[in-house]
Amino acid sequence: MQRRLQNINYLDLVLWLIRVSIIVIVVWGSIATLSDNPYSGRNWIDFIVFGIAQGSMYALIAIGYTLVYGVLFMINFAHGEFFMSGVMTATVFVAGPLSASGYLDRQPVISLLLILAVSMLTSVGVAVLTERIAYRPLRKAPRLVPLITAIGASFFLQYTFRGLYGSEVKPFPQVEALSGKIPFLGTELLESQLVVIIATVIMLVGLYLFVMRTKTGKAIRAVAEDKDVAALMGIDVDRTISITFALGAAMAGAAGVLYALVFRQVHFFMGFLPGLKAFTAAVLGGIGSIPGAAIGGLFLGIFESVGPPLFLDGLNVPAYHQLKDVIAFTMLVLILIFRPQGIIGERLAEKKA
């Protein structure tokens, strides 16, 4: 008994040391950076806007993790590939030809909507098939089994799309209509970033209303709580789970197009890192919660963009801009240690025992 108490105290001590040292590094780094003052206010606004745009994409992808986790208690590690498959297909079959024929610049709105539709539909198709073929037969298996299957499905999809479209990086055409800049608070916003942010807000609000207000949305929430009772109500549980995958994948497909608008290239491996980052965002916000995914995504995006110059520049860390992934995943580890339920996560006791 006494020994156990000592162990707990020892662990607590270590955790406190970690907390204190992180706070010291962050505060010290920030003070050092700010007293050097290498960046102007404009720079900071740029960092934040870029962070919001990047975070918007994370938020859209994170929705897929959170929805699937909500109904199946499973982390769908193939979700990053749903994101990749849509935008790859749309780039190869729609954006490329439209740009080559000049239609993209004559009718940018119609073209972009077409690209978006193809990307979302492809992602949805890939997701629904993956669920049907790889996950549904394992519905009653122990939880580790679908998790491993998801990792397998992720590789399967990566290399399938590599086989389909080749392994080289493909350019996503520049959209002339979105290459301009808009003056904002003494700096300039890229139009593409503005489109990303507005599109994300529309999609997230639409999704939230769908899940909260429509009959299908309520059925998704009912299935998330209790599949047997949901079936007793007449809800087709398998179909509802398919719809849940489709919704998440539609968001990922849209995020893919936004990603391509900002970074202007696509690649068969492009889903890996954004997928992991979005998973981090979903955990950060509280996995299973839709507002959590949105908040977690935005927070991670801004943190990643502002964090390296703010915390690391003053400490004279070399090439700190390349350390944003380190910051993101350090944050994942810290959340898992200190606040596993996330920012607005649910208490685990509420979940079914």
Partner 1 sequence: MPMLEVNNIHTYYGNIHALKGITLTVEQGEIVTLIGANGAGKTTTLRTISALLRPRQGNVLFEGEDLSNIPAHQMVYKGVAMVPEGRGIFSRLTVSENLDMGAFSRKDKDSMGKDLERVFTLFPRLKERRNQVAGTLSGGEQQMLAIGRAMMSHPRLLLLDEPSMGLAPVLVEAIFDTVIAINKEGTTILLVEQNATMALSVAFRGYVLQTGEIVLSDSAQNLSKNEMVQKAYLGME
- C-beta of 217: minimal distance to partner 1 in Å? 10
- C-beta of 216: minimal distance to partner 1 in Å? 10
- C-beta of 279: minimal distance to partner 1 in Å? 23
Which residues contact residue 203 at a Cβ distance below 8 angstroms, ignoring those fewer than 6 apart? 60, 251, 254
Q: Which is nearer to partner 1, 67 or 260 (CB)?
A: 67
Beta bridge partners of 183: 188
Q: Which is nearer to partner 1, 69 or 268 (CB)?
A: 69
- C-beta of 352: minimal distance to partner 1 in Å? 10
- Can you tell me the distance from the alpha carbon of 117 to that of 136, in angstroms, rounded to the nearest whole number? 26
Single out the residue of 125, 86, 22, 75 nearest to residue 276, CA to CA. 75
Q: Which is nearer to partner 1, 36 or 225 (CB)?
A: 225
Single out the residue of 281, 248, 194 nearest to residue 72, CA to CA. 248
User: Is there a contact between 260 and 125 (Cβ–Cβ < 8 Å)?
Assistant: no
Q: Which is nearer to partner 1, 12 or 226 (CB)?
A: 226
Which pairs count as long-range contacts for 233-236, CB under 8 Å and 24+ apart, including other chains?
none
Site residues (vs partner 1, CB under 8 A) = 215, 218-219, 221-222, 225-226, 228-237, 350
φ and ψ at residue 120, rounded to 5 degrees: -65, -45
Opening angle at CA 106, ends 105 and 108, nearest 5: 60
- C-beta of 282: minimal distance to partner 1 in Å? 18
- Can you tell me the distance from the alpha carbon of 1 to that of 42, in angstroms, rounded to the nearest whole number? 58
Can you tell me whether residue 178 is helix, strand or coil? helix
Q: Which is nearer to partner 1, 237 or 306 (CB)?
A: 237
- C-beta of 233: minimal distance to partner 1 in Å? 5
Which residue type sits at 239?
A: R
Q: Which is nearer to partner 1, 164 or 229 (CB)?
A: 229
Q: Which is nearer to partner 1, 243 or 328 (CB)?
A: 243
The secondary structure of 239-257 as a DSSP string is HHHHHHHHHHHHHHHHHHH
- C-beta of 83: minimal distance to partner 1 in Å? 28
